[in-house]
Structure 1
Amino acid sequence: MKPVVSPDFRCNDCDYWRKKYSNYDFAHRAMYHYDSGFQDWLHAYKFLGDYRLRQVIAKEVKKELGGYSDFLICGIPLSSKRFAQRGFNQVEGVLEAAGISRYAFLQRKVDTKPQAQKNRQERLAMEQPYELAVPMEEVKNKQILLVDDVYTTGRTLFHGAEVLLKADAKLIRTFSFAR
Structure 2
Amino acid sequence: MSLAVCVFCASGPVAPEHLALARDLGAGIAARGWTLVSGGGRVGMMGEVARAARDGGAHTLGVIPSDLVHREVADDESDELLVVDGMRERKAAMDARCDAVVALPGGLGTLEELFEAWTSRVLGMHAKPVVLCDPNGHYDPLLAWLDGLTGTGFLSSGSLGALTRTTTAGAALDAVAGALLPS
Give the alignment's TM-score, normalised by structure 1: 0.33
The structure with higher relative contact order (CA 8 Å, sep 6+) is 1
